[in-house]
Amino acid sequence: MAERRHPLLAREGWVHIFVAVLAAAVVHYYYGPYWAAPLWAITLFVVQFFRDPRRHIPSDPLGVVSPADGRVVFVGETHDPYLDRRAIKISVFMNVFNVHSNRAPIEGKVINRWYHRGRFFNATLDKASVENERNALWLQTDEKDDITCVQVAGLIARRILCYAQPGDRLGHGERYGFIRFGSRVDVYLPINTKIETKLGDKLKAGSDIIAHLVH
């Protein structure tokens, strides 16, 4: 299923891109390409960081799609601290070269949202899930499956953006947030969920299925 058209550069980065281009252009004009070269390199980095390509959403209503681009750094049973239950947790780490848009892992209603201030440990560490700054969404499907999706700040991430509020309905793979400059997203799933990914897998948000809900 093709998603609706949207800008190929994330709106969260438009100001950053403008400032980077302006600074490089001014130095290039007044001092020449040699002195401007580092600034043009920074501009290229900023543009690639804020790229936001469209994704093909699988037509699989029970398929849980990855909420983020990146590498799987945790898969297994654990405790969901938000819904106080045993759950399957899958964590995806985003480095600075990954797309940083976050997407709903499943279609459903936003039941609740929690924001916690915290620290900024390396997001590859599992303790980041409970100690770093984070924003959690409780999604519930029409079949009453409960899924918790948590945006976690990383070592250099300093801004978690989430546009979903309790009562909103998110589509399968719909873009709902963004984290600037390195981070991770944790997904807590029902304990009987069938896992479809493993440690080290590289995923694309909204496109790659990481699990299947079991009814």
Catalytic site positions: 183
Tally the residues of the chain. Answer: 215
One-letter amino acid of 182: G
Measured between alpha carbons, how far is residue 35 from residues 48, 77, 213 in Å? 22, 53, 55
From first CA to last CA, the distance across the chain in angstroms is 23
Kindly state the DSSP code that residue 11 receives in the 8-state scheme: G
- Choose among 142, 147, 176: nearest CA to 160: 176
> What percent of the residues of the chain are helix, what percent strand, and what percent coil, each to the nearest 5?
20, 40, 40
> From CA 125, how far away is CA 36, in angstroms rounded?
37
> From CA 210, how far away is CA 72, in angstroms rounded?
10
